[in-house]
Amino acid sequence: MKKGMSIKTKVALTAIVFMVLLTAVIALIGYTLYRRSVMESYTTYAETVLEYAYREAVKYSFGDMIALREMPEGYETLRTELDRIKDSTKIEYLYAVYFEDVEDIHSLHYAINAKTEAELAAGASYTNMGTPCEEGSFEDDTLVILQQAVKSAKSDNGTLEGYSSEYGHMLNGYRVIMDGSGKAEGLICVEIDINRIRAGLRSYVYTVISIAALFTAATVLLYLFNTKRYLVGPIERIAKSSDSFVRKMQANTDPEELVFEDAGVKTGGELKLLADNVKSLADGVSTYMTNLKTATAEKERIGTELALATRLQAAFLPSVFPPFPERSEFDIYASMDPAKEVGGDFYDFYLIDDDHLCMTIADVSGKGIPAALFMMVSKIILQSCAMLGQSAGEVLTKTNEAICSNNKESMFVTVWIGILEISTGRLTCANAGHEYPAIMRNGGKFELMKDKHGLVIGAMDGVRYKEYELTLSPGDKLFVYTDGVPEAEDAHNEMFGTERMINALNENSGAEPARLLKNVRAAVDGFVSGAEQFDDLTMLCIEYKGKEGAV
């Protein structure tokens, strides 16, 4: 047998994985809290700077300048004030923008921007009113947010985190600028470079991981030392003794020589209890194996008897077809497939005299040997009554009386019986709680015939069963069955149903009875797709051909 990973290795890996996960969780929580705190501070700072810039824009009626797309004398004065704000703060950018077409997010233009003295000394230039924003300066998501702010015309501070290939990660604060009539014309914006923040966060994570790795290594070593002494070692000894015992079993060692070697567990507690219990289990296995031979022999005997019972039951039913080769007035075929080794369904047909054919199909309550025995008794009584020349209703009535007289197990059987007068096609039927027959008139289709139902046989003494008559014309067919056919279930517990059964019959309704039954069985097998069945499948079909088989 291929050995898997040792418990010592599993314990070590478990400890390492746990510590790594713990470290990751701590680092993630720390990162989240630290980042939130830093971003809140920077957001507050950006909003403060934005407030100063907004006041200056309002002071110089900057909204009207944007509306007119003009740069009057106050424009440069405003820029000077914005330069002063930018020079005295730690913001990266201070500017104003507007949409040339507020419905087009890519129509963003600069209205003004600010520069520090250092930037101007380094050769930086101003951006004036009407300068289009460079492609890639803003993400589309950022442009959509700015567009919505202008459309909403709410003069509230807003912040967002943005990224562009040119400037990297930035914290953007913005506020809508109104003209003198209160119409939203553009936005005053400040940006703070947060790339440094992200670098600081990465440094924090690396530091936490490094410290946690050292702590993990020390913890794992200490953990492994203790588990080896108090857990893994005793378990390994128990496993060694168990393996030796199993090898002896696989070698078919005599049960009396199957001895579990003492694992020598001295730690007490649960492991000592485990070692003692395993030894007790091994002793029990030795006893079990001694008894197993006897049980196996008994099982083989029962299996032989069940096989014999199955053969006897099959021999008890008509199984040679055609059963009456000398009779051309009708063609009859039947089949029975038990859900267990022996079942409780049965069919029967026999000639009462030269002009009367009796047909029976029945379903006994329960399954297995008891149902099979009850089935044989029921079949014998039904045939005995029918052979006395009684009508279909009288046969069921007398059978019910006989069974109820000694039915201590309260078993019952559903029965459909039909007695056909061969010369005329007159069929006298009676039904004791059985399934509805299906009938097909010559050239037509099979349909369910909802006949009169009586109480099941064996349920109550004194019941008298009524009968009804049908007239079969040449070419007519009658199909009877047990509930195992419509109640066959697939893997989703959906039943086959009488509708599918009728459809299967009508796929080739002109076929001979043997082919019709095979078609239905194939339809059931295709529907259940191998799902286990818990009821017998029994069917019988007769085609009436009339005198001398002339249709």
Q: Are 191 and 164 in contact (CB under 8 A)?
A: no
- Provide CB contacts within 8 A for 58, sequence distance 6+: 177
Could you tell me which CATH number the domain at 7-199 has? 3.30.450.20
CATH of domain 320-549: 3.60.40.10
Distance CA 341, CA 372 (A): 10
Angstrom distances, CA of residue 264 to CA of 240, 272, 273, 277: 11, 9, 12, 13
Percent of the chain surpassing pLDDT 90: 51
Confidence of residue 140 (pLDDT cuts 50, 70, 90): confident
pLDDT digits (tens, 9 = 90+) for 388-417: 999 999 999 999 999 999 998 899 999 999
Amino acid at 454: G
Q: Comparing 506 with 233, which gets the higher pLDDT? A: 506
Query: What is the per-residue pLDDT across 338-394, written as a single tens digit (0 to 9) for each?
Result: 876 666 789 999 999 999 999 999 999 887 788 888 999 999 999 999 999 999 999
The whole-chain average pLDDT of the chain stands at 85
Could you please report the per-residue DSSP string of 199-261? HHHHHHHHHHHHHHHHHHHHHHHHHHHHHIIIIIHHHHHHHHHHHHHHHHHHTT--GGG--PP
Q: What's the rounded Cα separation, in Å, for the pair 228 and 74?
A: 82
Nearest in space to 474 (alpha carbons), one of 418, 510, 425: 425
Most confident among 120-129, 158-167, 415-424 (mean pLDDT): 415-424
Tokens for 53, please give them: 């810039």
Per-residue pLDDT at 17? 78
Name residue 349's beta-bridge partners. 359
Please name which of 510, 534, 539 lies closest in space to residue 523, comparing C-alpha atoms. Answer: 539
For the chain, helix, strand, coil in percent to 5 are: 50, 20, 30
Nearby residues of 367 by Cβ (< 8 Å), 6 or more positions away: 339, 340, 343, 344, 534, 535, 536
β partners of residue 362: 346, 415
Give dist(CA 195, CA 277) in Å, integer: 64
Residue range 194-236, pLDDT digits in tens: 877 767 667 777 777 778 777 777 777 776 676 766 666 667 6
**Token representation of residue 12:** 């070590």
- 185 CB burial (10 A radius; 0-12, 13-18, 19+): buried
Asked whether 274 and 238 are in contact (CB, 8 A), the reply is yes
* Distance, CA of 306 to CA of 324 (rounded, Å): 31
Residue 284 confidence (pLDDT) above 80: no
Q: What is the largest CA-CA distance in the chain?
A: 129
Least confident of 135-149, 242-256, 335-349, 375-389: 242-256
Q: What is the pLDDT of residue 268?
A: 64
Report residue 44 as tokens: 């507050």
Could you tell me which residues are beta bridge partners of residue 439?
447, 478
pLDDT confidence bin for 551, thresholds 50/70/90: very low
Q: 85, 49 in Cβ contact below 8 A?
A: yes
Q: Could you give the CA distance from residue 232 to residue 267 in angstroms, rounded to a whole number? A: 12
Residues 6+ positions from 204 with CB-CB distance below 8 Å = 30, 31, 34
* Residue 550 binned pLDDT confidence (cut-offs 50, 70, 90): very low
Using 50, 70 and 90 to split pLDDT, how confident is the model at 246? Answer: confident
Q: What is the pTM of this model?
A: 0.51
Q: Which two tokens stand for residue 158?
A: 């807003």
